[in-house]
């Protein structure tokens, strides 16, 4: 038996689970095995990986040994090496069981391949297996066994071929009562005129070669711990061989038509391709993008931040840095209800890059994830990063403009904060070290202004520290709060306590959002949903006794964030809110620039957040005499924040966009560059920059440059001029909006039909960044699509004289997001 060719991943789940039971003990178990396998560097487990294994006991079905075996399988650990290590730790029961199992294991090493040939030709189907001595082979065509003299050998010879031989074949490998089946192989006859299009040979004859991929690997979106399975099948004569590549690097252990990786991690994200070849031909499969999103809070350390003082203290739990939280309880069918919202709007602020306090990592991820989830529930979402006091105050004022009678309003803040005398204060990035209430925004004051709008539901989610600020002795007296019975506060931590983050090698997430995102879309009363989040957090070992969700509520009705929107009562107000919301979500038109040398350059735009935009440039056309050419952006205004070291990069990741990666947006044949523009809320004039074209002629040594100045208007949130002070607003008890209340002269809105249809052309190129949306069910009532926070590229036609309601989101529905459209890379958060 070729035992050395067999790896841990070939064992069945039943065998792995039984072996795990034997190894789940402290005296002679998985920890001792982990030390033994670490003799080989490729199988050595890090401290965080061992901690991840140990924390599996906190889950009802968790098994540390099973997690360790999955890691060994992922690294292609051979069965004989595993047996040697079990002998070293003197686990006789496991050695005996695994030895007997291996002796009886049957593994197919050569699968029969689909083939096609002409009548009278010759086809050989081959199936070879390893296992105990005495293996026998049975061949079947469909359900009928092939009984000729070649039917009981590893090779089935069909010669001379006739129509009766056409069909699907399979081989059964037997050992006593045990058996295993090969994959199906299709044999078909072709005429001498040629073969199927897309094949590498004009015809498949018994004596002539051919190669054709019939099944391409598909993009996938997974979570850590899932199993990755990619398949690439080909018809070939002689039979095809396979090689898999991950991010253009050969994966030497994977040489079959199926690529299977159990228990994936973020290291497995990226682009996969399969090389298919035989002795005559070679071809490549399509590229399949694989996204690996972070799991809950396994494999993590935690960091404690005192956000009010700007200090941080790192700790590590004695039982490990994090746990896998228990899965949410199954939701009970909701009772029938008549409650609804007239609209749903949300303002999400994440402050990280503080000037005088410690820097935070995670708000970018939490704002991003919460945006995705809220848009699924039809919320209009404005997401902003790194705001100073003026910008935060203006953003809140604009948020209040979106509120009206019956509207659901949600405010989320992640950053430094504190609580004095029962009032919560959000700290802007420009607050001094010894900040007081005059440098911050009081949440209770915002609630007072929200109540004046007669909203249907007010939800505050505060992901910040609630320690007392010793520098602030002023007792703030917010406005008189009304008994509206519609307000819910969700605090990430208790009063006078800090909040925490979980941290991986390159991933950070806030504890609060980590648990909240598993529950927030449940069709339950808001308070019930938050109660369940609190229970989930209570099971977390690293925060027990340190951080616990606190909820304050006077909500008297069963209102849920998933309630439907009904706008018939105030369609004019709804239309006005759509227009106001759309101001912060309009991107520049995709541009095509023509240079004197004959080069055509495309400029494309995508939104990462409401105040962060990505610009890409690519060469669409150039004369033949130009051998090299690139277009770079420069001369950006001082108002915006552009990292010059990360501008004009070949990938979004290199450009600093850790959340968005577009699969094959710019193909190798059409190279392009990315530049990330931050802090658009500080843009005081139209965004103007220079595109510098560098090119070289075939008969010249020197490089030639051409420059063009480009103006793209005021994109995204810059139209709101958040840097300008807002005058005090007198709010009446009933604030009714009309379309006339907005001045449209300074805004270049897209045509409302473009928003409504969710389709905008950006030229003839097929690999631009599209956005997706859905049409409203009525002509005067539009709601935001349930969608992920995906970058959008739009064209902006001239504004209509009679603007219509605009949908608030134009992104791919969350359930349909896959790597062929976008990938989400590492998430960051810190508390």
In the DSSP assignment, the letter for residue 90 is: T
**CA 505 to CA 828: how far, in whole Å?**
11
Catalytic, out of 465, 540, 570, 629: 465
**CA 592 to CA 600: how far, in whole Å?**
7
Positive or negative torsion for Cα 573, 578, 580, 581: positive
CA atoms within 13 A on the CB side of 625: 7
Positive or negative torsion for Cα 466, 470, 472, 473: positive
Backbone φ and ψ for 190, nearest 5 degrees, come out as: -130, 155
Catalytic, out of 416, 585, 829, 831: 416
**CA 558 to CA 572: how far, in whole Å?**
27
Backbone φ and ψ for 499, nearest 5 degrees, come out as: -110, 165
Q: Which among 297, 371, 345, 539 is positioned nearest to 455, based on CA atoms?
A: 345
Catalytic residue check, 416: yes
Catalytic residue check, 465: yes
**CA 94 to CA 120: how far, in whole Å?**
54
Q: How far apart are the first and last CA of the chain?
A: 56
3-state secondary structure of 249: strand
3-state secondary structure of 226: coil
**CA 767 to CA 155: how far, in whole Å?**
46
Return the number of other C-beta atoms located less than 10 Å from residue 50's C-beta. Answer: 21
**CA 17 to CA 63: how far, in whole Å?**
9
3-state secondary structure of 218: coil
- CA distances from residue 179 to 7, 125, 141, 361, 755 in whole angstroms, order as listed: 19, 19, 17, 54, 58
Backbone φ and ψ for 314, nearest 5 degrees, come out as: -95, 140
Positive or negative torsion for Cα 98, 103, 109, 111: negative
**CA 212 to CA 710: how far, in whole Å?**
47
**CA 647 to CA 628: how far, in whole Å?**
20
- CA distances from residue 378 to 138, 243, 581, 738 in whole angstroms, order as listed: 57, 44, 13, 22
**CA 455 to CA 460: how far, in whole Å?**
13
Beta-ladder partners of 183: none
Q: Are β-strands 688-697 and 672-677 bridged in parallel, bridged antiparallel, or unpaired?
A: unpaired
Cite the active site residues: 416, 465
């Amino acid at each position: 038996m070729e035992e050395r060719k067999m790896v841990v991943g070939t064992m069945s789940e039943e065998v792995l689970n039984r072996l795990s039971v034997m190894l789940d003990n402290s005296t002679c178990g998985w920890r001792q095995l982990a030390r033994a396998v670490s003799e080989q560097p490729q199988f050595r487990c890090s401290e965080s990986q061992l901690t991840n294994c140990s924390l599996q006991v906190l889950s009802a079905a968790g098994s540390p040994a099973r997690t360790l075996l999955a890691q060994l399988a992922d690294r292609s650990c051979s069965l004989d090496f595993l047996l040697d290590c079990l002998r070293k730790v003197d686990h006789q029961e496991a050695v005996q069981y695994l030895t007997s199992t291996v002796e009886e294991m049957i593994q197919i090493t050569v699968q029969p391949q689909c083939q096609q040939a002409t009548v009278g030709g010759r086809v050989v189907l081959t199936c070879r297996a390893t296992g105990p001595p005495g293996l026998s082979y049975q061949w079947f065509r469909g359900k009928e066994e092939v009984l000729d003299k070649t039917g009981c050998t590893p090779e089935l010879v069909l010669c001379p071929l006739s129509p009766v031989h056409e069909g699907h074949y399979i081989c059964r490998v037997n050992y006593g009562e045990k058996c295993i089946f090969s994959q199906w192989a299709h044999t078909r006859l072709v005429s001498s005129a040629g073969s199927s299009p897309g094949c590498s040979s004009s015809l498949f004859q018994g004596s002539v070669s051919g190669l054709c991929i019939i099944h391409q690997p598909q993009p996938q979106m997974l979570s850590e711990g899932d199993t990755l399975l990619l398949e690439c099948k080909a018809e070939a004569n002689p039979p095809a061989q396979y090689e898999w590549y991950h991010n253009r690097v050969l994966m030497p252990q994977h040489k079959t038509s199926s690529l299977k990786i159990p228990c994936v991690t973020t290291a497995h994200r990226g682009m996969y391709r399969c090389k298919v070849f035989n002795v005559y031909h070679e071809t490549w499969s399509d590229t399949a993008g694989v996204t690996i999103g972070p799991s809950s809070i396994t494999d993590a350390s935690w960091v404690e931040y005192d956000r009010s003082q700007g200090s941080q203290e790192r700790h590590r739990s004695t039982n490990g840095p994090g746990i896998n939280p228990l899965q949410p309880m199954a939701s009970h069918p909701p009772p029938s209800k008549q409650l609804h919202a007239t609209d749903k709007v949300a303002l999400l602020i994440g402050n990280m890059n503080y000037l005088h306090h410690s820097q935070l990592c995670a708000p970018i991820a939490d704002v991003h994830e919460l945006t995705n989830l809220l848009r699924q529930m039809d919320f209009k979402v404005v997401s902003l990063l790194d705001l100073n006091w003026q910008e935060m105050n203006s953003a809140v004022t604009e948020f209040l403009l979106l509120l009206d009678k019956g509207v659901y309003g949600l405010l989320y803040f992640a950053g430094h904060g504190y609580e004095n005398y029962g009032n919560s204060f959000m700290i802007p990035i420009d607050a001094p070290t010894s900040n007081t209430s005059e440098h911050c925004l009081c949440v209770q004051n915002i609630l007072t202004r929200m109540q004046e709008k007669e909203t249907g539901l007010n939800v505050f989610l505060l992901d910040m520290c609630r320690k007392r600020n010793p520098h602030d002795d002023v007792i703030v007296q917010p406005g008189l709060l009304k008994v509206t019975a519609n307000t819910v506060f969700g605090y990430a931590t208790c009063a006078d306590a800090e909040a925490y983050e979980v941290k991986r090698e390159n991933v950070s997430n806030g504890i609060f959002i980590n648990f909240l995102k598993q529950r927030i879309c449940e069709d339950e009363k808001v308070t019930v949903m938050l109660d369940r989040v609190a229970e989930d957090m209570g099971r977390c070992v690293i925060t027990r006794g340190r951080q616990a969700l606190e909820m304050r509520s006077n909500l008297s009705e069963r209102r849920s964030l998933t309630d439907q929107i009904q706008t018939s009562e105030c369609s004019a107000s709804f239309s006005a809110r759509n227009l106001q919301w759309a101001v912060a979500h309009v991107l520049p038109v995709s541009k095509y620039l023509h240079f004197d040398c004959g080069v055509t350059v495309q400029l494309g735009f995508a939104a990462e957040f409401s105040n962060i935009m990505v610009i890409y440039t690519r060469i669409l056309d150039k004369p033949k005499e130009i051998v090299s050419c690139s277009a770079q952006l420069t001369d950006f205004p001082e108002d915006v924040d552009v990292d010059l070291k990360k501008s004009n990069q070949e990938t979004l990741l290199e450009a600093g966009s850790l959340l968005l990666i577009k699969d094959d947006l710019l193909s190798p044949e059409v190279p392009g560059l990315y530049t990330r523009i931050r802090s658009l809320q500080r843009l005081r004039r139209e965004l103007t920059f220079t595109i510098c074209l560098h090119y070289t002629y075939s008969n010249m040594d020197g490089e030639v440059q051409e420059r063009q100045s480009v103006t793209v208007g005021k994109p995204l949130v810059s139209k709101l001029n958040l840097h300008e002070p807002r005058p005090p607003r007198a709010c009446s008890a009933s604030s009714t909006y009309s379309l006339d209340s907005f001045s449209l002269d300074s805004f270049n809105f897209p045509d409302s039909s473009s928003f409504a249809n969710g389709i905008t052309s950006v030229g003839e190129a097929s690999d631009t960044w599209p956005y997706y949306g859905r049409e409203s069910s009525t002509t005067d009532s539009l709601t935001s699509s349930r969608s992920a926070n995906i970058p959008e590229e739009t064209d902006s036609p001239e504004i209509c004289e009679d603007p219509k309601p605009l949908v608030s989101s134009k992104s791919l529905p969350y359930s349909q997001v896959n790597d062929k459209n976008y990938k989400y890379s590492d998430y960051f958060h810190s508390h």
